[in-house]
């Protein structure tokens, strides 16, 4: 009876000890949980901050890549596509034209007597003429797929997907008329050569360039300020002004 009485006396203390232990455990658990939540919130905040910084970095990198691409694809003087872009784009459009069995047109355009303009008015004016011609040509393009490139010196090239010879010649003639109508000194005219076809499997870009160049040469040999097509010949001939030299 003495042992049972002693146990009964210690039972409240034992229960109290258990409750205190549970309370301490729960308290410590709650503290750890709060710490974990705080840590998780801090990590989430840090992750959001890093994600935002990464997004800004990626956007800056994309902008720099775009600028670099422009530097490698655009002509510094005229602002239009350069010769390297022309070579790549013509090959790509020939593959597309061959695959889709749609015509591809190439127009080569040359500023008439550009050397005389440089000699008479100076190279600064010559550069302004190139800019003016490039700007006018670009304004005449209505389709995003049409590409204007500076082929070299005073020569330009138009790559016109899904375009037959007549359409290419009509665009070149419109450009010629627009320039001829501008009476600002120095007077500027252009000659143009056009070629269009659906490339066959053996076709090379050099063939398109060669045929368009032949048409351009015919236009210049016939007196300039006119559009020729290959292989059909003259389109809307314009007599050369009296006294002009027949130089290429």
Identify the CA nearest to 164 among candidates 101, 103, 95, 121.
103
Is the distance from CB of 226 to CB of 236 less than 8 angstroms? yes
Secondary structure of residue 150 in the 3-state scheme: strand
Q: Which residues, in sequence order, are bridge partners of residue 191?
A: 110
Cis bond leading into 231, ω under 30°?
Answer: yes
Q: Which of 3, 59, 154, 173 is catalytic?
A: 154
The token duo for 183 is: 């009476």
- Spatial distance between the Cα atoms of 43 and 140, rounded to a whole number of angstroms: 56
Identify the CA nearest to 230 among candidates 214, 219, 244.
214
- Spatial distance between the Cα atoms of 74 and 70, rounded to a whole number of angstroms: 5
Query: Token match 């007599």: residue?
Result: 239
- Spatial distance between the Cα atoms of 139 and 158, rounded to a whole number of angstroms: 13
Q: Is 154 an active-site residue?
A: yes
Is the distance from CB of 219 to CB of 228 less than 8 angstroms? yes
Give how far Cα 76 sits from Cα of 63, 86, 125, Å: 19, 15, 16
Catalytic residue annotation: 154
């Amino acid at each position: 009876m003495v042992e049972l009485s002693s146990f009964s006396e210690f039972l409240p203390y034992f229960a109290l000890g258990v409750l205190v232990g549970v309370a301490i455990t729960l308290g410590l658990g709650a503290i750890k949980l709060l710490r974990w939540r705080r840590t998780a919130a801090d990590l989430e905040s840090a992750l959001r901050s890093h994600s935002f910084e990464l997004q800004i970095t990626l956007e800056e990198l994309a902008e720099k890549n775009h600028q670099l691409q422009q530097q490698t694809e655009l002509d510094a003087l005229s602002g239009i596509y350069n010769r390297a872009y022309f070579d790549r784009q013509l090959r790509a459009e020939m593959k597309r034209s061959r695959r889709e069995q749609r015509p591809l047109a190439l127009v080569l355009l040359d500023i008439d007597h550009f050397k005389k303009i440089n000699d008479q008015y100076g190279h600064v004016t010559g550069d302004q003429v190139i800019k003016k011609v490039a700007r006018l040509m670009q304004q005449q393009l209505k389709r995003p797929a049409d590409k204007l490139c500076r082929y070299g010196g005073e020569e330009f090239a138009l790559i016109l997907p899904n375009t037959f010879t007549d359409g290419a010649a009509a665009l070149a003639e419109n450009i010629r008329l627009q320039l001829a109508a501008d009476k600002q000194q120095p007077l500027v005219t252009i000659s143009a050569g056009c070629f269009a076809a659906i490339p066959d499997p053996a076709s090379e870009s050099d063939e398109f360039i060669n045929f368009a160049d032949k048409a351009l040469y015919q236009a210049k040999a016939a007196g300039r300020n006119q559009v020729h097509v290959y292989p059909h010949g003259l389109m809307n001939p314009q007599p050369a002004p009296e006294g002009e030299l027949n130089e290429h």
